[in-house]
Amino acid sequence: MALPVRRFDAIVVGAGGSGMRASLELARADLKVAVLSKVFPTRSHTVAAQGGIAAPLANSTEDNWHWHMYDTVKGSDYLGDQDAIEYMCRRANEVVVELEHMGMPFDRLESGKIYQRPFGGHTQNYGSAKMAMRSCAVADRTGHAMLHTLYQQNVHANTQFFVEWMALDLVRDPQDGAVVGVTALEMETGEIYLLQAKAVVLATGGSGRIFAASTNAFINTGDGLGMAARAGLPLEDMEFYQFHPTGVYGAGVLITEGVRGEGGYLLNKDGERFMERYAPNAKDLASRDVVSRAMTTEIKEGRGCGPDKDHVLLKLDHLGPEVINHRLPGIREISIKFANADPVREPIPVVPTVHYQMGGVPTKYTGQVVVPEGSNMETILPGLYAIGECACVSVHGANRLGTNSLLDLVVFGKAAGEQVIKDLRLAPSPHRALPKDAGELTRSRVARLDSNADGERVVDVLGDLRRAMQAHCGVFRFPDDLQKGVEKVKEIAARSLRTFIKDKSKTFNTARVEALELDNLVETALATIVSAEARKESRGAQARDDFPERDDKNWMKHTLWYREGNRLAYKPVHLKPMTVEAFEPKKRTY
Ligand SMILES: Cc1cc2nc3c(=O)[nH]c(=O)nc-3n(C[C@H](O)[C@H](O)[C@H](O)COP(=O)(O)OP(=O)(O)OC[C@H]3O[C@@H](n4cnc5c(N)ncnc54)[C@H](O)[C@@H]3O)c2cc1C
């Protein structure tokens, strides 16, 4: 039986900060836009963002977009595309002021201007020892405030939300590969639909749940990446996975870098402020890859804290209860709940925890998805756009600076919205015809789950996947471990094709949803570990024991992973910015 079809101008898959910034642009242009989300929009993971959004507003220290651009290029370990980075930094003030005018309740300075705090890797004057106060914050709940502001604006602009709808696969036109829609599961009824559109925007967020210990929500299962991979598209730079230095020991919940921005610092078992040895200038506010590696080294060399010497301490009691309660109230609550430590009196036990995926679906700064075709490594794929954490623009390169993600969401969410509007003016009207076999892939995935009476339990395969990734693809990467990890994840991928679910009911069947999510987690994990094993250098978040140095001669290039045969290809980094001089790669010190 044919799947029921619903038709829109544009579909945005994901209602986080990036998805809702794009949909706002589209709805304001009076387009018929559908936003799909697995959860209620304001529960999207952006809600968890704590420390702030970067913009060189210069409210507390001197600042400008050139300095921000330099820091971002350096932070990316020179793998970021400099044209896209320039674009983002130049538009930062505009998009943050827009959020303010939409009603986002930023903290204020005495002068009434937006409050800004320092953050890791953000400096003044092209990397000087002086930190820039660039992170615009709403206490330690910036993402919460941003998401609610964007949701209200979308409601006002008549965006149509499909809440608890899960997109499953992309639908492509066999003629030219253009994307013409998605298949989606309405969780409440268990029905599957074909949603047809002239433009599909992927905004599905991260995939932190491929690891066992993560700051990410359970819904962060890399769905957009899985959809792209199954549709034959490559995933870019997936080896670069950021470990945030300060996850609560044992729980993984995030303690924002804003704590160190406000003056908190890390200690080892001897009470030593060890970051002074690793980053004499920026100290605890060096970039995240540097701090995470330093912490792991302290623990490995026996200077960790606690009976097992397996964590370090984050001290902030010296800030006093007033600053903690006013600027970091959520952190105090998290620490009391998850670490049983009240930071007003005692330090928080922390370990580096999986946090952010720098790679994703390859895109231009306009949000348009680009793929290799013939000799052109970046041909625009008609009908498909990607934004936010699931996209690789690439502004974060091998390592993202804190507060640059929320910025990326709104800059590229808006840019993609603008591009879709332009493209739709030229698109054929009415819609292109759907291919005859539209929805077949989805139907076969769901039919397998419905018919299999036995096989692998989803929870077992998932647990093994997460443990394998945690053990074989961590802060430091070892050649044997990586090779074994690739084999393990391939075996797990084969097992994931034999999963079954006991509960075959249709109404709000979360077992079916989890089984479908597993497919996406498997694609993402494979992309990550296969790409990591192949890159024979250390750069940003990829720290190899056997190749400890960055190798610009051989590895200044983006990885592209294809699902078919786990094939890898490479493409050049954009070293030329749009209007300014390029920042030449040099040794990165903080
Ligand atoms: C704890 C924490 C704190 C952070 N703090 C900061 C910070 O202070 N500053 C900063 O810059 N960055 C921060 N980050 C990073 C930043 O918050 C994220 O990178 C960003 O919010 C991701 O936004 P997004 O729009 O890409 O996706 P998300 O906000 O994750 O939204 C994804 C959306 O996609 C939907 N979705 C997913 N799959 C499907 C599917 N198959 N079908 C339908 N819908 C789907 C989800 O329901 C959701 O609506 C933090 C991250 C974490 C984990």
Q: How far is the CA of 387 from the centre of ligand 1 (A)?
A: 11
Residue 225's nearest CA partner among 575, 523, 531 is 523
- Whether 203 lines ligand 1, by a CB cut-off of 6 Å, is yes
Confidence of residue 2 (pLDDT cuts 50, 70, 90): confident
pLDDT (0 to 100) of residue 430: 84
Q: Which of 12, 23, 38, 107 to mutate to test the pocket of ligand 1 (most atoms within 8 A of CB)?
A: 38
Q: Which residues pair with 391 in a beta bridge?
A: 361
- Whether 13 lines ligand 1, by a CB cut-off of 6 Å, is yes
- Whether 393 lines ligand 1, by a CB cut-off of 6 Å, is no
Complete domains list, the chain, with CATH: 249-351 (3.90.700.10), 440-553 (1.20.58.100)
Q: How far is the CA of 49 from the centre of ligand 1 (A)?
A: 8
pLDDT (0 to 100) of residue 155: 97
Helices (H), 103-203: 142-156
How many CA within 13 A on the CB side of residue 347?
21
CB–CB of 364/384 below 8 Å?
Answer: no
Q: How far is the CA of 18 from the centre of ligand 1 (A)?
A: 8
255-285 residue pLDDT tens = 999 999 999 999 999 999 999 999 999 999 9
Tokens describing residue 429: 């009207």
CB–CB of 106/138 below 8 Å?
Answer: yes
The answer, yes or no, to whether residue 429 has pLDDT greater than 90, is: no
474-528 residue pLDDT tens = 999 999 999 999 999 999 999 999 999 999 999 999 999 999 999 999 999 999 9
468: phi then psi, degrees, rounded to nearest 5: -65, -45
pLDDT (0 to 100) of residue 550: 98
Pairing of the two strands 33-37 and 235-236: unpaired
pLDDT (0 to 100) of residue 426: 86
Q: Which of 21, 46, 115 to mutate to test the pocket of ligand 1 (most atoms within 8 A of CB)?
A: 46
Confidence of residue 473 (pLDDT cuts 50, 70, 90): very high
pLDDT (0 to 100) of residue 120: 93
Q: How far is the CA of 206 from the centre of ligand 1 (A)?
A: 6
Query: What is the DSSP secondary-structure string of 202-252?
Result: E-----GGGSSSBSS-TT-S-HHHHHHHHTT--EESTT-EEEEEEEETTT-
- Whether 223 lines ligand 1, by a CB cut-off of 6 Å, is yes
Q: What is the mean pLDDT of residues 76-93?
A: 98
286-324 residue pLDDT tens = 999 999 999 999 999 999 999 999 999 999 999 999 999
Cα separation, 46 vs 388, in Å, equals: 10
The answer, yes or no, to whether residue 85 has pLDDT greater than 80, is: yes
Cα separation, 276 vs 270, in Å, equals: 14
CB–CB of 386/363 below 8 Å?
Answer: yes
Confidence of residue 403 (pLDDT cuts 50, 70, 90): very high
List CB contacts of 332: < 8 A, sequence separation 6 or more.
324, 325, 342, 343, 344
Q: How far is the CA of 15 from the centre of ligand 1 (A)?
A: 9
pLDDT (0 to 100) of residue 319: 96
pLDDT over 90, % of the chain: 97
DSSP summary character for residue 396 = S
- Whether 330 lines ligand 1, by a CB cut-off of 6 Å, is no
The answer, yes or no, to whether residue 427 has pLDDT greater than 90, is: no
Confidence of residue 167 (pLDDT cuts 50, 70, 90): very high
Active-site residue list: 288
Q: Does residue 465 sit in helix, strand or coil? A: helix
Q: Which of 106, 204, 327 to mutate to test the pocket of ligand 1 (most atoms within 8 A of CB)?
A: 204
Sign, Cα dihedral of 250, 251, 256, 259: negative
421: phi then psi, degrees, rounded to nearest 5: -60, -45
Q: Does residue 301 sit in helix, strand or coil? A: coil
Q: How far is the CA of 8 from the centre of ligand 1 (A)?
A: 24
pLDDT over 70, % of the chain: 100
- Whether 37 lines ligand 1, by a CB cut-off of 6 Å, is yes
The answer, yes or no, to whether residue 1 has pLDDT greater than 80, is: no
CB–CB of 59/116 below 8 Å?
Answer: yes
24-38 residue pLDDT tens = 999 999 999 999 999
Rg over alpha carbons for the chain, rounded to the nearest Å, is: 23
- Whether 72 lines ligand 1, by a CB cut-off of 6 Å, is no
Which ligand 1 atom lies nearest to the CA of residue 15? 49
Residue 74's nearest CA partner among 293, 359, 401, 365 is 401
Q: What is the mean pLDDT of residues 142-146?
A: 98
Residue 339's nearest CA partner among 320, 354, 353 is 353
Cα separation, 13 vs 17, in Å, equals: 12
**86-114 burial: b if 16+ Cβ within 10 Å, else e:** bbbbbbbbebbebbbeeebebbeeeeeeb
